[in-house]
Amino acid sequence: MIYSSTLKSDLLDKEKHIRHAFFTRQGGVSSGIYSSLNCSYESCDSLDLVKENRRRAAAYLNATHSDIVTAHQVHSANVLTVKAPFKDSFLMKADALVCQTPGLAIGVLTADCTPVLFADPEEKVVAAAHAGWRGAMSGILEQTLKEMEMVGAKRSRICAAIGPTIHQSNYQVCPEFEIEFLKSEPLSRPFFYHQDLDKKKIFFDLSGFCYSKLKSESVGYVDNLSCCTYTLEFLFYSYRRARRLSYVDYGRQLSAIVISP
């Protein structure tokens, strides 16, 4: 459901001890190509404006800190368990965060890749994962689940929500991409669509692959918001759209979750 500048998963929204949001690009203070809720410190946007955007996001979640904890995402299967804010998030290289600290909001940044928010409401464990194609192929979702289990979560109780992602019809990939992916994930063939017989136009279903992976890992409940970042320009930033328009940079939207303090 859309609430102003955010989208929510009905699956996670019903849990009274958990607050979450898939923030759109609306409701912030940035301008130009970053308009308006750009939450990326790694963009070339004004640092002060990004800080204000993230402060707004933290306030929306009723977080106890004025910022959201995020890591330097490197398209890996690295997962960190967070107990306090990072002193320097750029040095913390990871593509998923796990947290048990009430009031400490954690999140990931995306602009076509797949954000996934997790929660075990009974054990009060939450997680946020950034699944680009390389991270998804390398096992970021599986590693996130393992890290959650290490701190007490159970897969049968975990709710996972897949946020806004570029849709297959807009995600054309090269033949080498398909070869590499199938070599690592032989069962992923159904997520590739060939528009022509000579296989020059190949399209990949990233969010569909992530959904299938979560189900195969016996996650208790999985939700997919099914929103395309590429086509919905008024709602989302998109790396591929920015490239098509020859922009020098692009913003990133935030997906975040917190255990209510």
If you write DSSP's letter for every residue of 224-260 in order, what string do you get? E---BTTT-TTT---HHHHHHTT-S----EEEEEEE-
Query: 243 phi and psi, to 5 degrees?
Result: -65, -45
At residue 109, the pLDDT reads: 98
The answer as to whether 118 is a domain residue is yes
For residues 70, 72, 73, 74, the Cα torsion angle rounded to the nearest 10 degrees is -160
Domain span at residue 101 reads 2-166+222-259
| CATH code for the domain in which residue 96 is found | 3.60.140.10
Residue 189 belongs to a domain: no
191 belongs to a structural domain = no
179 Cβ contact list (under 8 Å, min separation 6): none
In whole angstroms, what is the distance from residue 158 CA to residue 155 CA? 5
Whether 237 is in a domain gets the answer yes
In angstroms, the CA 49 to CA 159 distance is 33
Query: How far is C-alpha 219 from the geometric centre of its chain's CA atoms?
Result: 17
Please count the residues of the chain.
261
Count up the domains in the chain and report the number.
1
* Per-residue pLDDT, 87: 86
Q: Which residues of the chain have pLDDT under 50?
A: 1-3
pTM for the predicted model, two decimal places: 0.97
Question: What does the DSSP 8-state code read for residue 160?
Answer: E
Task: Give the pLDDT confidence score for residue 261 in this predicted structure.
Answer: 87
Model pLDDT, residue 182: 98
Q: Is residue 184 part of a domain?
A: no
Whether residue 116 contacts residue 141, with contact meaning beta carbons closer than 8 Å, is answered with yes
Can you give the pLDDT at residue 199? 66
The rounded radius of gyration (Å) of the Cα atoms in the chain is 17
Model confidence over 78-125: pLDDT tens digits?
999 999 999 888 889 999 999 999 999 999 999 999 999 999 999 999
